[in-house]
Amino acid sequence: MVTVDSVSFLGRSADGGVVKLLDGISFAAKAGEITAIIGPSGGGKSTLIRLINRLADPSEGRIEVGGTDIATMDPLQLRRMVALVPQKPFMFEGTVLDNLQMPFRYRHETPPAAQSGEVAEVLALARLDRELLERDGRSLSLGQQQRVGVARALITKPQVLLLDEPTSALDRRTSDGLAATLREICHGRNLTMIMVTHDLRLTEKVADYCFYLEAGRILEQGRAAELLAHPASMELKRFLAEPADQEV
C-alpha cells in the first residue's frame, strides 16, 4: 500500500524560476488495485510517481510504502521494492536478455538464464516473443521497448509498480493485451500499481481507483468507473470531453 499525505513539490520552471509542481496531494493506493492518475500534460503526474520512487524528495508532506515513511528508508531498498517504468524506458547496451538481467547485476545476484522460468514468465506477461531475447534492445520498436521496460521491472517481483504512460506507443490490440496482463499481475500478485496515463480507454479497462490531477492539484478522485461516468468538476468534464488534449 502507498499513502501520499499532503505532498507538495517545488520545481524549476522553463525560465529558471521556482514553481509549485505539486500542491497538497493526498491519496492512498491499495495493494491488489490499480490506481490511475489522469490529467492534462504538465499537471505533475510524472513528478508524483518520481517522488514515490524517491528519484526526488517532496518539499512538504510524507509518502509511506507499506506503512513506512520512505524518507527513512534506504533509497536502494525502496527502489528494489518500488519499480518505476518510465514512458520511454531506456534500453541498456546489449540484448533484451541483458536488459532483463540488469536489475540482478545491480543487486549482485545471479541473473536468471534465458531458459529460466522467471524470464519465460515476464516475457509472457509483457507479451514479448522469445525470439526477441537475443535482439539488440535498442533496435526494437518503441512499443516493444515499452514492454521490455515492463518485463524488466516485473522480473524482480516488486511490491509496488509505477507506470508512466505504459501504452503510449502501443497499438490498440497490444494495448488491450497489456491492460489485461496488468490487471492479472496486480490482482494475482497483490501488487500496488499506480499508473499515469492519458489513455481513458486503458483507465476504464484496468483502473480500480482514479484521480484527476491538474496544475499540481487533485481536483477529483474516486472509484474509476464512478469517476469517469459521473465527473463532478468542470475541469474533469472538459478533459473527458476533449480527446484531442489526451494525445501524448
Partner 1 sequence: MDNQGLVNLGILDLVVAYSLVLLAIGLAKLKRIGQEAQMLWASLRMVFQLLAVGYLLHFIFAVKHPLPVLAILLVMGGFSLQVIGARIKRKMPRFYQVVGTALLVGCGGVTFVFCSLVVHYSPWYDPRYLIPLAGMIIGNSMNGASLAAERLGAEMRERREEIETALCLGASARQAAKPALRNAFRAAIMPTANTMAAMGIVSLPGMMTGQILSGTEPMVAVRYQIAIMCAITGAVAITAYLIVVQGYRSYFTKAQQLEMQ
Q: Contact positions toward partner 1, by CB under 8 A?
A: 53-57, 75-76, 79-80, 83-86, 88-90, 92, 102-103, 106-107, 152-153, 156
Closest CB to partner 1 among 112 and 231?
A: 112
In angstroms, what is the minimal distance from the CB of 231 to partner 1?
32
Rounded to an integer, what distance in angstroms lies between the CA atom of residue 114 and that of residue 103?
15
Question: Which grid coordinates are listed for 179?
Answer: 491492460
Closest CB to partner 1 among 196 and 227?
A: 196
Closest CB to partner 1 among 152 and 208?
A: 152
Closest CB to partner 1 among 55 and 229?
A: 55
Closest CB to partner 1 among 126 and 153?
A: 153
The 3-class SS string of 12-38 reads ECCCCCEEEEEEEEEEEECCCCEEEEE
Outline where DSSP puts E strands in 95-216.
160-164, 192-196, 209-214
225-231 long-range Cβ contacts below 8 angstroms, 24+ apart: 228/200, 228/203, 228/204
Fill in the amino acid letter for 178: L
Q: Are 15 and 176 in contact (CB under 8 A)?
A: no
Fill in the amino acid letter for 231: P
Q: Are 212 and 227 in contact (CB under 8 A)?
A: yes
